Homo-oligomer: A and B are copies of this chain.
């Protein structure tokens, strides 16, 4: 891994950089980008951006693709040289839709995250984790940090920036903030601005964590973390990620032990679980084991703040500068967190005629993750036809 110290200098020529360090795909790396001014005022004094990459940046530095992860996503889009499948496995690799024999693919951990980029669990200048001292950051702040990472990597403009859900918000913000550095932009299962309902569900999640006594105002790193609160936040979120039909079809009213729920619940009150409860327990447990609660709050609040038009006039005005960007906007037909109508609203506000592609999935919002073949097909017929 590149250490912050060795990499804190000026950007190196791209091809030389990527060649010189012999990048293996799918392995976490990090680069120090220095002080980052924040949209809310103030600055983060010393920011490290963590990322993974696959393939090789060409001499012209024009074959780079940025893939943006979702709320609790990591940088691990694809297995690469690692032992672990990525969250969009099969989309990125030699001969795949995003062909790493041709493209240099990057996925950076969002600012405030817990997968290597500076976040609340990072050590501040005084040697202690930021905790409650970590400032409010926005989607726009993360894009600025990612732009500095791109500078360091020698990427002057992206062949494409691609993201789903919060990753879509980040992709869109890239196009609006740096239209000269984004040639293609795919916004999947996302929107131009977080809605009242999305803010409402997000508030419940943030409160679930903050109300956990272990949270200790955010300064819990010396003690037990707020796992119950984070688990509840995940349960709330996960319900919104799935459709009613999907949960009904998979679990119905069945009890975990195979009994009818009446008997299950009635014979052992408090012990017996509906299958859907056990499933949500499992989802909560998995997240708690891999995610920091403060990062969950930081990124959730950043997503609550998402509004590509903030300070830029109307939505159409905010997007007017993106006329040179080729867009793909896609929605999951059964999504009830980022409704297809929000994709339609975004597409209608973009310059030119941008149709909304539909990803058919009964699963709900998470279709952007599970329907890799559909997402791949969409990207292949648009950005990656060759």
| Segment at the interface with B among A168-176, A182-190, A260-268, A316-324 | A260-268
- Contact partner of A235 (CB less than 8 A), chosen from B39, B40, B207, B305, is B207
Give chain A's interface residue range (CB within 8 Å of chain B): 35 or more
- Contact partner of A196 (CB less than 8 A), chosen from B251, B310, B311, is B251
Task: Kindly name the residue among A203, A252, A274, A336 whose own CB sees the greatest number of chain B CB atoms within 10 A.
Answer: A203
Q: Interface SS of chain A: helix, strand, loop or mixed?
A: helix
- Total copies of the chain: 2
Expressed in whole angstroms, the Cα–Cα distance for A229 and B207 within the complex equals 9
Min CB gap A258→B, angstroms: 16
Min CB gap A90→B, angstroms: 29
Expressed in whole angstroms, the Cα–Cα distance for A70 and B142 within the complex equals 45
Does chain B have a CB within 8 A of A45?
Answer: no
Expressed in whole angstroms, the Cα–Cα distance for A73 and B54 within the complex equals 57
Does chain B have a CB within 8 A of A385?
Answer: no
Expressed in whole angstroms, the Cα–Cα distance for A33 and B250 within the complex equals 41
Inter-subunit contact A253/B211 (CB<8 Å): no
Inter-subunit contact A196/B232 (CB<8 Å): no
Chain A interface residues (CB < 8 Å from chain B): 39-41, 135-136, 138, 193-197, 199-201, 203-204, 207-208, 211-213, 228-229, 232, 235-236, 239, 244, 247-248, 250-253, 260-262, 265-267, 269-270, 274-277, 280, 301, 304-305, 307, 310-311, 336, 339
**Interface pairs (30), CB distance under 8 Å:** A39-B262, A136-B265, A136-B266, A138-B266, A193-B253, A194-B253, A195-B252, A196-B247, A196-B250, A196-B252, A196-B274, A197-B247, A199-B274, A200-B235, A200-B239, A200-B277, A203-B274, A203-B277, A204-B239, A204-B280, A207-B232, A211-B211, A211-B229, A211-B232, A213-B213, A244-B339, A261-B305, A265-B304, A265-B305, A274-B304
